Amino acid sequence: MILDQLKNDLTVATRNSDVVCRDTLRLLLSAINYKKIDLGHDLNDEEVLTVINNEAKKRRESIDVFTKNNRPELAASEKAELIILETYLPRQLTREEIEIEIEKLDLPNDFGQAMKIVAPLFKGRADGKLVAEIIKSVIQ
């Protein structure tokens, strides 16, 4: 289970005095606990991955903001946390892999209908914005 792995890795990071990893995992476990309370049941691996993905997305957005506002030290800190979070996520598909998969499908010309077909196929395996961008280019 991913949750057990996170807890074990937190223990290892604490013993090794790896402050960045320890703090990142603590924040992640806290977010998982909040989601558990919100849903009212223990999270399965898919739900835990969703929380990890949400936390990674927050880090990516923060990196963009800090980079645009010329705050490289804060961007570097967020980048270090993002690297740790990404170790728990499945490998993301590349743009080329997504394009190949989408081109195999017979998609309607309506973007909304195309997204309804494609989004479930790539859930958790690719960034939704990237998938939407590729769909727009394919149906035009």
Mean pLDDT of 28-47: 95
Strand ranges inside the chain, DSSP E: none
Q: What pLDDT, on a 0 to 100 scale, did the predictor assign at position 128? A: 83
Buried b (16+ CB within 10 A) or exposed e, 74-95: ebebbbebbebbbebeeebbee
Q: Using one digit for the tens of pLDDT, what is the confidence trace for 80-135?
A: 999 999 999 988 888 999 988 888 888 888 888 888 888 888 887 888 888 889 99
Q: What pLDDT, on a 0 to 100 scale, did the predictor assign at position 126? A: 84
Q: What pLDDT, on a 0 to 100 scale, did the predictor assign at position 57? A: 92
Q: How far is CA 13 from the centre of its chain?
A: 21
Contact of 72 with 66, CB cutoff 8 Å: yes
Q: What pLDDT, on a 0 to 100 scale, did the predictor assign at position 105? A: 84
Mean pLDDT of 12-32: 97
Contact of 53 with 92, CB cutoff 8 Å: no
Buried b (16+ CB within 10 A) or exposed e, 106-120: ebeeeeeebbeebee
Contact of 6 with 25, CB cutoff 8 Å: yes
Indicate the angle between helix axes 72-86 and 19-39, nearest 10 degrees. Answer: 60
Q: Using one digit for the tens of pLDDT, what is the confidence trace for 39-89?
A: 999 999 989 999 999 999 999 999 999 999 999 999 999 999 999 999 999
Helix (H) or strand (E) holding 29: helix 19-39
Contact of 80 with 63, CB cutoff 8 Å: no
Report the SS3 class of residue 129.
Answer: helix
Sequence-distant (≥ 6) Cβ neighbours of residue 50 within 8 angstroms: 124
